[in-house]
Chain A
Amino acid sequence: MTVTVKDKTELFSPQICAEIDRWIAKYPAEWKQSAVMGALMIVQDDNGGWLTTELMDRVADYLDMPPIAVYEVATFYSMYELKPVGKHKICVCTNVSCMTNKSDLIVEHLEKKLGISFGEVTEDGRFSMKEVECLGACGGAPMMQIGKQYYENLTPEIVDAILEGLE
């Protein structure tokens, strides 16, 4: 059951509300639900990269959606995380073009260096690893994404330099 919220601006910080409102404004007034994907991404980024049930419920209230409809979206799309991730989420593509350009060596190198495998987070919470499907940058295979940034033509040495350059 949706809790009736008197003042929606209490659900999130003014800045988050303003960002979600920018998405709402893109769609017809009666289709606030269209903003759910944008809203979930904003809220996820603000929460260290993952979504709690409580946050999803708030998004539901904010957009006048049943919570289940928000859960459906959050569980369907692979970019939403329902468990904690590292400060830096390392997404490595292992699809055909990357695979034939030795993405397995990149994965092995990361595993050894960080002591974690796909789906895990380092103890200090700095890094997590995720296997992803084709990210549309096959010309730069092997490649990975950290945060919003793509990194292409990887070698273990390049990976080291990239990780060292992160905060």
Chain B
Amino acid sequence: MVNEVCLRTLDLERPWLMEQYQSRGGYEVLKQVLSEKRAPEDIIEEVKKSGLRGRGGAGFPTGLKWSFISRNAPGQKYVVCNSDEGEPGTFKDRDILRYNPHQLIEGMILAGYAIGATRGYNYIRGEFWEPYERFEQALQEAREAGFLGDNLLGSGFDFELHTHLGGGAYICGEETALLESIEGKKGQPRYKPPFPAHFGLYGRPTIINNTESLASIPMILEKGGEWFADIGVKNSGGSKLFSISGNINNPGVFEIPMGTPFSELLEMAGGMKDGRKIKAVIPGGSSAPVIPGEQMMDLNMDYDSIAGAGSMLGSGAVIVLDDTNCMVKTLERMSYFYHEESCGQCTPCREGTGWLYRVVHRIETGQGRQEDLDLLDDVADKISGKTICALGDAAALPVQGMLRHYRDEFQYHIDHKRCMVGAG
């Protein structure tokens, strides 16, 4: 069960073309839904049944999210796709946009039909020029084929879809910051509630889903929610795209069933480079707390298994580190990232991420003080849960994870003013 959902056209030549997508049955389910005038409630029910959970990182059940929209409320509603892929280690949505853009388009149209929205935006990060062009080309093809525009295939349902390009801000992957960004503003997250389902883009009811989530919809509706759920395991329906990188032989994107043992994923990715020993794994993007390599070898790639080890599956971005990596240096780089990307709106995050970076930096450069480890714990604790959005938590979690598992390495840096790892 590899490449069964979002990457189902990957083996074809130029898989991004409409004719290739259609050769695998693409747009058939949309035609069927429109011609049979399938009940929107029925579609939402099927998505609920699939067990699909938000693939951007938060893991919120997609069907449930859709059901929060009052479908029959008058006025404009929106479907927004979050292709602002920026969680360090994540590079899967890029492949969906490059290799299977039509499936995302079909998924977005179906989402619009289900919630009663006639307009959609796909927010693609500004650096993704090649994926943007692929997606734009696919939009053009879809428009020409009558899958976008007014009165789709004579069904009476209208749907128009546009791309919005980002400008290089990690925070815009946060759904309300993303909405602000489409509105032409700084990407600073909004207070919730109100949630986007009630007050979203331009103040209208909006659903925002990740690229992979929306691209999964056509297959869920074609083969049924149960089919999708059964690919995975309990609480983690379906297959999932894992972006695996780091010190491995064959990094890349693998679409495999939820619940696949990590050891199998590592094998698919060619195993450890130069036959080195696995030291640590960041299992779900850089915000996910680190897990020691040995422990990781016994875990499965699903929400519950990873959560049980004190981390999270997040976006499915797996960073594998071998024994030449210094954990202090690794955390220093991660903390720099969150400091750099904090939007500056909430004091605990704006100031706290700077504290985290500076303290880890001085430990890394041999200036660490004995009280610094407690200070890091304290600062992380003072950020967690005290900010409008999750970026603060995302900055605090890796610090807490590193100190939980590699405190001795930090201590060594403080005591000896150098690294215990040769490469550090």
Residues 69-106 of A at the B interface (beta carbon under 8 Å):
69, 72-73, 76-80, 91, 94-97, 99-101
From B91, B166, B182, B244, A137 is in contact (CB under 8 Å) with: B91
Residues 25-53 of A at the B interface (beta carbon under 8 Å):
26-28, 31, 33-38, 40-41
Check: B367 CB closer than 8 A to any chain A CB. no
Check: B319 CB closer than 8 A to any chain A CB. yes
Q: Which residue of B lies closest to A38 (CB)?
A: B165
Known: A73-B185, A96-B286, A96-B330. A26 touches B127 (CB 8 A): no
Q: Determine which residue in B163, B166, B186 has the highest number of CB atoms from chain A within 10 A of its CB, and name it.
A: B186
A96, B91: Cβ atoms under 8 Å?
A: no
| Count of residues in B whose CB is under 8 Å from the partner chain | 56
Contact with A along B162-188 (1 / 0, CB 8 A): 111111111000000000011111110
**Contacts between the two chains (Cβ within 8 Å), count:** 149
Residues 91-133 of B at the A interface (beta carbon under 8 Å):
91, 93-94, 121, 125-130
- B residues less than 8 Å from A139 (CB atoms): 91, 243-245, 251-253
- B residues less than 8 Å from A101 (CB atoms): 246-247
B243, A100: Cβ atoms under 8 Å?
A: no
| CB proximity of A53 to chain B, nearest CB, Å | 18
Contact with B along A100-138 (1 / 0, CB 8 A): 110000000000000000000000000000001111111
- A residues less than 8 Å from B93 (CB atoms): 136
Q: Which residue of B lies closest to A137 (CB)?
A: B91
Q: Determine which residue in A91, A99, A132 has the highest number of CB atoms from chain B within 10 A of its CB, and name it.
A: A99
A138, B184: Cβ atoms under 8 Å?
A: no
Q: How far apart sit A27 and B121, CA to CA, in the bound complex (Å)?
A: 9
A35, B184: Cβ atoms under 8 Å?
A: yes
A96, B88: Cβ atoms under 8 Å?
A: yes
Contact with B along A9-35 (1 / 0, CB 8 A): 000000000000000001110010111
- A residues less than 8 Å from B333 (CB atoms): 94-96, 99
- B residues less than 8 Å from A69 (CB atoms): 184-185
From A34, A134, A136, B184 is in contact (CB under 8 Å) with: A34
A134, B88: Cβ atoms under 8 Å?
A: yes
Check: A141 CB closer than 8 A to any chain B CB. yes
B164, A136: Cβ atoms under 8 Å?
A: no
B85, A41: Cβ atoms under 8 Å?
A: no
Q: How far apart sit A31 and B184, CA to CA, in the bound complex (Å)?
A: 9
A138, B90: Cβ atoms under 8 Å?
A: yes
Q: How far apart sit A28 and B203, CA to CA, in the bound complex (Å)?
A: 12
Check: B397 CB closer than 8 A to any chain A CB. no
Stretch at the interface among B9-17, B46-54, B221-229, B334-342: B334-342
Q: How far apart sit A145 and B90, CA to CA, in the bound complex (Å)?
A: 17
Residues 300-322 of B at the A interface (beta carbon under 8 Å):
317, 319, 321
B127, A145: Cβ atoms under 8 Å?
A: yes
Q: Determine which residue in B85, B165, B184, B186 has the highest number of CB atoms from chain A within 10 A of its CB, and name it.
A: B184
Known: A100-B321, A135-B127, A138-B88. A78 touches B167 (CB 8 A): yes
Check: B202 CB closer than 8 A to any chain A CB. yes
Q: Determine which residue in A37, A141, A149 has the highest number of CB atoms from chain B within 10 A of its CB, and name it.
A: A37
Q: Determine which residue in B89, B162, B169 has the highest number of CB atoms from chain A within 10 A of its CB, and name it.
A: B89
Check: B86 CB closer than 8 A to any chain A CB. yes
- A residues less than 8 Å from B170 (CB atoms): 133-134
A136, B125: Cβ atoms under 8 Å?
A: yes
From A79, A99, A140, B127 is in contact (CB under 8 Å) with: A79
| CB proximity of B318 to chain A, nearest CB, Å | 10
A31, B89: Cβ atoms under 8 Å?
A: no
| CB proximity of A141 to chain B, nearest CB, Å | 6
- A residues less than 8 Å from B91 (CB atoms): 136-139
From B86, B164, B168, B243, A79 is in contact (CB under 8 Å) with: B168
- A residues less than 8 Å from B167 (CB atoms): 37, 40-41, 73, 76-80
Contact with A along B274-296 (1 / 0, CB 8 A): 00000000100010000000000
- B residues less than 8 Å from A133 (CB atoms): 86, 88, 170, 337, 340-341
Q: How far apart sit A65 and B163, CA to CA, in the bound complex (Å)?
A: 22
Q: How far apart sit A37 and B123, CA to CA, in the bound complex (Å)?
A: 12
What are 13 A-B pairs with beta-carbon distances under 8 A? A26-B164, A31-B202, A33-B183, A36-B184, A37-B181, A38-B164, A41-B165, A77-B167, A100-B330, A133-B340, A136-B90, A137-B94, A141-B251
In order of increasing CB-CB distance, the 4 nearest A-B pairs are: A77-B167, A33-B184, A78-B168, A138-B245
Q: Which A residues are closer than 8 A to B by beta carbons?
A: 26-28, 31, 33-38, 40-41, 63, 65, 69, 72-73, 76-80, 91, 94-97, 99-101, 132-141, 145, 148-150
Task: List 14 additional A-B contacts (Cβ < 8 Å) besides A76-B167, A132-B168, A148-B130.
Answer: A27-B162, A34-B182, A69-B184, A69-B185, A72-B185, A91-B127, A95-B337, A97-B246, A134-B90, A138-B90, A138-B243, A139-B243, A139-B244, A148-B129
